[in-house]
Structure formats: structure tokens, C-alpha cells
Structure 1
Amino acid sequence: MDAGTTAAADWWANAICRMEPGVVELRGIPVQELIGSHGFVATIWLMVRGTSPSPREAALLEAAMVASVDHGPQAPSIAIARMTATCGVGLNNAMASGVNALGDSHGGAGQQCVELLSAIVSREEAGESLEAATEAVVTDFRKHSRYLPGFGHRFHPRDPRRDPLLGLVDEAVAEGVVAGNHLRAARAVEELLNKGRAKPIPMNIDGATAVIYAELGFPPPLARGLFVLSRSVGILAHAWEETTQGRRNKGPVPTSILPTVLPVQA
């Protein structure tokens, strides 16, 4: 290749996908070898990490992703996708609109919880007791936020997804699949939060999946990315259902309900 062609090829250099006539390789593995042998979740791992997970690792990741696919149309991302689907656009537009609503407040708690738990684990590895590390990290976090990501839920007194996920992590720790340090940190936070409280604040889905992502070695930003992939399934299902119902220009409330008019401020 001449210098210009080489520069153009180098511009898009990557270790993820090699494609040329008759060849498609994902992380160096011919795609025809992956088809039928790699599950979708294992392929996600391969693509973002560059290695293939063990069957137990893939099963744990799959459990976390299954648990997060949907939480009903009251979730902004789902509601937005359903409304967009009635506006004369395609499914891809409706899905993109829903995904674009997943930010720090709606969709970011898993990433934030991984950061929280990782900070506790780092301090413990540096020699602090788990209790001291937990109290220090939680105290610091509360200086800039009322909420601890991954704990408590505005709908569920106890998130129904929490216990099955943590049970799977307990099994994985017992079998040596994961170390369990982030699981211990999460339970330490939960214990600290509930000291002296009559009404408990249990870990929620974001906390439980954060434990799994952290135990499996995913960096915090990928925890959010994996949640987005998971929730995209629910977004697709809701957008498609809304499309099949034939409604046009669906708004956030029925047309019989008009917004309250606020007084004009001087």
C-alpha cells in the first residue's frame, strides 16, 4: 500500500473486527466458528473484553442482563420509545429515542454503584477494615448526593430481582468463579444504611447488577453500557407493541387530561 492508503487503513485500526472479502473475524475468531457455538451474551463479552467467558461467567452476566430488560412504561426510556413509535418513525428511531433517555439519573445508577463498591474494595485492599472503608466512602459520597446508587427503590419495598441475583453471586463465590469482594462491600453498605432504621433500605436491581458487573471485572462505564443493551430489549418490545396498536401521536397523558396552567409570574 502507498503512504496514503496505509494512513487511511491505520486511521480505522482496531482489534475488534477484521473484515475483507470472504472474511469476517471477531476478536480474531472467524464468525462462522462463533455461529452456533457462542451465545449472544458470551459474544458481548468477547466483543468488549477480547476474551471468551467461562460458561459460569457467561451465565452470571446473562442473569444480570435478563433482570434489567424492562421495568414498565412508567420508566422514561420505555415511555419515550412508546410515544415516539406513534409519530410516524421507524422502530430504530423509537429505540434510539428511548436509549437516549438513559442518563445519570435514569440508567446510570449501576455504573455509579460499581464506582462506589470499587472505592470500598480499593480501600480495604490498602489495609482498612471493611467497616471503616465502607463508612469513609459512603460519607464522602453523601457530601454530593442524597442518594446512594443501588440502594432503595421508589416502587418496591424489596426489589424482587435482588435476591435471585445475589443468590447466584453467592454460588459463584462458593465455586471460585468470582472473588466476592464487591459482594461483601455491597452488603456492608446495606448494613451501614440500615443501622437504627425501622424501615429498611435494601439493595435494588442496580446494586445487584453492579455487584455482578464488578465481580466479573467490567469497568464502571461498561456497567452502564451493558444496562443499555439489556434495557434495549424492553424498549424494542414496547415500541413494537405500540406500533401494532395503531395509535397516532401518543402523548404522555390521555387527550382527555389537560395540563395544569401555572399562574403567570411577574
Structure 2
Amino acid sequence: MTMPASPTAADAANWWSTGVSRIEPDVIQYRGYPVQELIGAVSFVDTIWLLVRGDLPTPAQSALLEAALMSGADHGPQAPSIAVARMAITCGIGLNGAMASAVNTLGDVHGGAGQECLGLLHGMQRRVDAGQDRAEVADSIVAGYRERGGFVPGFGHRFHRHDPRRDPLLTLLQEAAGRGEISGDHLANITALESALARRGSKPVPMNIDGATATIYAELGFEPELARGLFVLSRSVGILAHAWEESGSRRRIKGPLPPPMTAPYTGHAERHLPGH
């Protein structure tokens, strides 16, 4: 039996090899750019694009990404992630623990619709590229979700009848498409889905922030999994702000309900052990 060779220094060095950044004594490079050249010359949004995508964005790409990230930064304490951050900070775990607790609530339901919508848009475009009619594709997608009793991701909102972030984001997309900065294909897809929902329902189900930002990410060429990561980056700003504000209240162990309110009990009626 041949024993495996002992790892070499090169094996150890290559264990975490990366094309994202070069870090050596007195050297910090992001995708090949020396950090000292980037500081003061490249924005944080451009740095996100650079590290994730590998090169610097065009001004048009940067503007759309910034709009998407800015629009999802906060949604108040009624958002579970924000509420968790505020409760966590009163438990004495510090800002980093509060932020981590909040980010961990951003799952498939709260925070995941953008990723699902982006995947839907990519799949829809493949069908359109194959020669199918866009409106018919949209109708079939909506029908499929309705038959399964599901919600079309990126549409409707539990809090807003009309999401105030929808129109300005779509306007930016329409203007970018008009200037030839984006293809406009995914913008056409999302509006076709919105029209299909309006035709099939008793009342309109307008696009929400997840649908609008997913369209931006689709037009910018991001993969679906990155939509959630970008949303986490965006919402972390609001999470930090709320956790910091709550830390100033000096309140300890702040629960989901203000005292002396308690959650209604729906279990077995009061009962006792024998002899009591």
C-alpha cells in the first residue's frame, strides 16, 4: 500500500489560493489593483463589483448596482431581521453578535425572494431565446404558481399595497435600456409577469423590491445565488443602524412584546399532578 506523500509547503500555500485578493507583507491588491490606488478613487459599490465580478464596473453598471443596494438597506423593526438585531443587542452580545443574529434570519422566505425571482427571470429568458412568446411564457409561469398555491417571487408585499421602491428602480432600468446600457430583456420579462398577474387575478399584484432589484441584477449579469448575498450586504446597513440605535436605549433583554403583555396561551387547560 502506497502512503500518500506528506504535504509540501507549496501544498499548504495553495490550500487557500485565490484570485480575489493578493495579500503579502506590505502588499494588498484587489483583483490585481493595489489598494493604495483604489482608496479615494473607487467607491464602495465599485469595490463590491470588483471583488465579486473581477473587474471594475462601467459608470452605468455602478449606478444600477448602487440603486439596488441602497433601496433595500432598511425596512424598519417590522422586518424580522431588524427586530432580531434590536432584541439581540439588548441581550448584551454586542454589535457583531446582533448583526450576525439578524443576518441569519435572511433565509428562503425573508430575504430569498430576490434569488428566486432572478432564477425565474433567467429561465424565462431562455424560453424567449428559444422562440417562445414572452407573454405566453409569463402566463404559463403565473398559472403554474397559482396551480401550486404559491406566490410568484418578486410580486406583492405583506406591508405595502404599492411598494414605493418599484417605480424609481424601474425608471432607472427603462432609462438605461433606452441608452443601450442594458439589453432590456429582463425588464421586459418582469413587466410581462406583472401583466400576467394582473390578467389572472381579481386585483393587480404589483412588483415589489425583490422583483425590481432582481431585474437589475439580471440585467447586470449576476447569478441568482448572488442576489441573496447582495441583499445581505444591503440590509446589513439597516441592521447596523437599528442595533446601534437600540443599544442607546439601555434596555435589557427586550422581548418581542412590551411588558406586561404576553403571548396568548393556546395549550391544555390548567391541570395538576396527583396530590397537588
Could you say which TM-score interval applies, normalised by the shorter chain? over 0.9
The offset of 1:140, in angstroms, is 3.5
Change (3 A) 1:43 1:213: same
What residue ranges of structure 2 are gaps of 5+ in the alignment? 1-5, 270-276
Which residue pairs with 2:56 in the alignment? 52
CA distance in 1, matches of 2:143, 2:200: 17
1:242-257 matches, within 5 Å, as: 242-257=246-261
Mean Cα deviation higher: 119-128 or 191-200: 191-200
AA matched with 1:15: G
Bigger Cα Rg: 2
What residue ranges of structure 1 are gaps of 5+ in the alignment? none
The offset of 1:144, in angstroms, is 4.4
Cα RMSD, aligned residues only: 1.4
Which residue pairs with 2:29 in the alignment? 25
Which residue pairs with 1:121 in the alignment? 125
1:1-266 matches, within 5 Å, as: 4-144=8-148, 146-195=150-199, 197-264=201-268
CA distance in 1, matches of 2:192, 2:259: 48
AA matched with 1:81: A
CA distance in 2, matches of 1:14, 1:62: 26
CA distance in 2, matches of 1:217, 1:141: 25
Provide TM-score, normalisation by structure 1.
0.96
CA distance in 1, matches of 2:49, 2:149: 32
Alignment: residue pair count: 264
3-state secondary structure, aligned to 1:194: helix
* 1:17-55 alpha-carbon deviations (Å, 9 max, x no partner): 101111001101111111111100010000000011001
CA distance in 2, matches of 1:110, 1:162: 13
CA distance in 1, matches of 2:140, 2:264: 45
CA distance in 2, matches of 1:75, 1:157: 16
The answer on whether the counterparts of 2:142 and 2:197 sit within 8 Å (CA) in structure 1 is no
CA distance in 1, matches of 2:266, 2:148: 31
Provide TM-score, normalisation by structure 2.
0.92
Task: Give me the identity figure in percent.
Answer: 56
Mean Cα deviation higher: 101-110 or 138-147: 138-147
CA distance in 2, matches of 1:120, 1:196: 18
3-state secondary structure, aligned to 2:252: coil
CA distance in 2, matches of 1:232, 1:156: 22
